Chain A
Amino acid sequence: MFNQLISIFANGITISSTYAIVAIGLSLVYGVSKTFNYAYGSFATVGAYITWLLFSMFDWMNYPVAIMVMIPFMFLFGIAIEWLIPRPLRKNENWEITTVVATLGLGVLLANLVLFLFGPYTKALPELGGGTVSIGHVQLDWNRIVILILAILIVVGLKLFLKKTYIGMSMRAVAQDIEGARVVGMKINHIFALTFGISTVLAGLCGMLLGTIYFLTPSGGWEIFIKAFVIVALGGAGSIDGALYAAFILGITESFVQFTLGPIWVMPFWFIFLMAVLIFKPRGLLGIR
């Protein structure tokens, strides 16, 4: 029993680490440009299917190469989407609502495009690392350990990028004071596009990592998107550290819900949790406003 609890906990941590990546991406875009992207989950689906396509096209494909191909692809894809949808809409008066509706349309479009291109059958990505490792009596998959390591690398890399580099600092500057940033001559639209591109890359990476645990389905992205949002709401919109804590709280709780009540209760759990957050802690754990 105790070993079982430990393994549920360990699985919860690996799942949480992938949720953290996707939630940070969502929170980053919201923090910088106040744009809320409903197609975000579909971006994760696109990333996962791109990886699957690479593996099915080339026999010699391995994960380092796949990641190297996917990152620039997702980045350019994100920048193109930003240029096509949120940018022309931002000129309008009530751009917040129109962006939400337009990206929701985009999300449905992408999910159905994936359905058309790859068919309705579930697909599986190869594991990141085979076999298991036992610590005491607890068995852990190598795959999940590699996911955790990669996720930590991504989060640490992103935080360093935001703290140390010039672009990262200008992104934080825009998040803090958009008018001030404009006054000192920053190109706001470039920063928005860049942020959107980075968040798209994060969504793609999350889709890839989750694809090694679960099967890929064309509409699976919506679940990722919803979870990312609840995490952002609990962590506080725009806060990266908050999203990190919230991802682990929710991911580990989710894996216990999944074990005790069954996977069908997962979506109601996220709904009830979001309602509870909005009632008791509407600004989240570390909200910036």
Chain B
Amino acid sequence: MKLSYKNTIIAFAVMLFLPLLIHDNSFLMHILIMSCLFSVLLVGWDLIMGYAGIFSFGQIAIFTIGAYSSAMLSKIVGLPPLISILVGSLIACGVGIIVALPSLRLAGIYVAMVTFLLHEALISMIRIGRVIGTGGATSITGIPPLSFLGYSFPSIERLPWYYVSLTLAFLSYFVFIRIINSSYGISFVALRDAEDLAKSVGVDDYRSKIIVFAMAALFAGLAGGFYAHYMRLVSVRILGLDNFILLLVMLIVGGLGKFPGVIVATFIFTILNEYMRPLEVFRPILLGVMVIVAIIYMPNGIGGIINFITTKFRRFKRIS
């Protein structure tokens, strides 16, 4: 089934005019910006885990690599933020490829573990890297804000940030729809649904998996770079397990391989997460329960529900 661009364009138009209603509410704007950045990460994660069938847990690590690289390049080396974000995302992409090359040939479980271990090792590496300015166990502060053609983005006013992150998010959605509709996407669906048959007719999954993994890593790195310059602070807390489980809930409740679901879930859970903060230690416990319950009782997630409604609606239109 090919994904259409229509709904995404409609959503983009709605999001474009949303600030007219809420631009005074700085907190809500912040949540929307974070949702956009997280959704870039998560759409990539959905692409590699839901569509390409790669068990990757390294998407947040790659996001963090993008954030730290861009932060350090702009603060220590002094590159302009826009260039440092691009270079940072290329570094993130490179790390993704290095990790993917040996592990994607093996059974899925090895990929899961290599990427999970990348996540854990990165925490130590950032601590070790204190000497080269990673901030160690604390954080990098005072990252210069984004500037573009002499216009420097203010840190109090959220509106310009909103439009930048919105553009990035929808750019990534269009790229991912394009990939899913391309021959890669078709070969992934074939591999997912009938692996032996697809391989016997010569579908080469290794090369296409590497390319898709690299694309997802590139966008996660971009989102990470924007995150660093938006927050003007990066710390190892991004790699914390409670953050990890939050993003995993978004992915699973959104539905693996059910495209728009993951975006909807990102927005819902980024908002919900803010209201769950008073729960403190119960928040990760609750999120853990959600992952388990969602995967057992709702394997298709929100995306499954959306697809169900749209097909029903289409059939209804055809009958009447």
Q: Are A105 and B296 in contact (CB under 8 A)?
A: no
8 A Cβ contacts from B111-161 to A: 112-114, 116-118, 120-121, 123-125, 127-128
B70 to chain A, nearest CB (A): 22
A212-238 residues with Cβ-Cβ distance < 8 A to B are 219, 222-223, 226, 229-230, 233, 237
Binds B, one of A68-76, A158-166, A173-181, A273-281: A273-281
- Is there contact, CB below 8 Å, between A108 and B245? yes
Please tell me if the beta carbons of A112 and B124 are within 8 angstroms of each other in the complex.
Answer: no
Are A105's CB and B117's CB within 8 A? no
Judge whether B170 is part of the interface by a CB distance below 8 angstroms.
Answer: no
Size bracket of the B interface: 35 or more
| Interface-facing stretch out of A8-16, A58-66, A84-92, A148-156 | A84-92
Task: Report the minimum CB–CB distance from B241 to chain A (whole Å).
Answer: 5
Would you call A196 an interface residue if the criterion is a C-beta within 8 Å of the partner chain's C-beta atoms?
no
Of A109, A219, A270, the residue contacting B121 (CB under 8 A) is: A270
Is A267 a contact partner of B123 (Cβ separation < 8 A)? yes
Quick one: closest A residue to B192, CB to CB? Answer: A94
Could you mark each residue 102-122 of chain A with 1 if its beta carbon is under 8 Å from any beta carbon of chain B, else 0?
101111111111011000000
Q: How many Å lie between the Cα of A219 and that of B245 in the bound state?
A: 14
- Considering the complex, give the chain B residue whose CB is closest to the CB of A97: B55
Q: How far is the CA of A268 from the CA of B123 in the complex (A)?
A: 9
The A contact surface, by secondary structure, is: helix
Task: List residues of chain B with CB within 8 A of the CB of A192.
Answer: none
Our pick among B99, B117, B192, B256 for the contact of A226 (Cβ within 8 Å) is B117
B103 adjacent to A278 (CB under 8 Å) = yes
- A100 in contact with B112 (CB, 8 Å): yes
Q: Which of B110, B118, B245, B284 contacts A278 (CB 8 A)?
A: B110
> Smallest CB-CB separation from B252: which chain A residue?
A101
A111: chain B residues within 8 A (beta carbon) = 241
Name the residue among A97, A233, A282 with the largest chain B CB count within 10 angstroms: A97
Q: Does B276 contact A (CB under 8 A)?
A: no
**Residue contact A267 to B248, C-beta cutoff 8 Å:** no
With A108-B288, A109-B288, A268-B124 already in contact, the answer to whether A230 and B117 are too (CB < 8 A) is: yes
Q: Is A1 an interface residue (CB 8 A)?
A: no
A92 to B299, Cβ gap below 8 A?
Answer: yes
Let me know if A54 is at the binding interface, CB within 8 A. no
Complex interface residues of chain B between 274 and 301 (CB less than 8 A to chain A): 281-282, 284-285, 287-292, 295-296, 299
Would you call A139 an interface residue if the criterion is a C-beta within 8 Å of the partner chain's C-beta atoms?
no
Main secondary structure of the interface of B (DSSP, over half): helix
Whether A106 pairs with B292 at a CB distance below 8 angstroms is yes
> Is residue B108 contacting chain A, with contact meaning CB distance below 8 A?
yes
Output the least CB separation between B128 and chain A (Å): 6
Q: Is B94 an interface residue (CB 8 A)?
A: no
A176–B289 alpha-carbon span in the complex (Å): 34
Contact A85 B292 (CB under 8 A): yes
Asked whether B53 is an interface residue with its Cβ less than 8 Å from the other chain, the reply is yes
In the assembled complex, the CB of A39 is this many whole angstroms from the nearest CB of chain B, namely 10
Give Cα A108 to B288, complex, Å: 6
| Option from A97, A107, A237, A264 in Cβ contact (under 8 Å) with B124 | A264
| CB within 8 Å of A: which B240-264 residues | 241-242, 244-245, 248, 252, 256
Looking at the complex, which one of B116, B125, B284 makes contact with A108 (CB distance below 8 Å)? B284
For residue B49, CB closer than 8 A to chain A, the reply is yes
Residues on B with C-beta less than 8 A from A101 are 248, 252, 291, 295
Interface membership of A265, Cβ < 8 A: yes
Contacts A222-B120, A271-B117 given; indicate if A112 touches B128 (C-beta within 8 A).
no
Q: Is A170 an interface residue (CB 8 A)?
A: no
Known: A106-B288, A275-B102, A279-B102. A270 touches B117 (CB 8 A): yes
Given A104-B291, A105-B248, answer yes or no on A226-B103 (Cβ-Cβ < 8 Å): no
Q: State whether the Cβ of B105 lies closer than 8 Å to any Cβ in chain A.
A: yes
Q: Does the CB pair B288–A219 fall under 8 Å?
A: no
B18 within 8 A of A: no
Further contacts, 10 of them, CB under 8 A, given A89-B295, A282-B110? A97-B49, A101-B252, A106-B292, A108-B288, A115-B281, A116-B281, A230-B113, A268-B121, A268-B124, A278-B103
Some 27 contacts from A to B, beta carbons below 8 A apart, are A92-B299, A94-B192, A97-B49, A97-B256, A101-B291, A104-B248, A105-B248, A107-B288, A108-B245, A108-B287, A111-B241, A112-B281, A112-B284, A112-B288, A116-B285, A222-B120, A223-B120, A226-B113, A226-B116, A229-B117, A264-B128, A266-B124, A267-B123, A270-B121, A274-B117, A279-B102, A282-B106
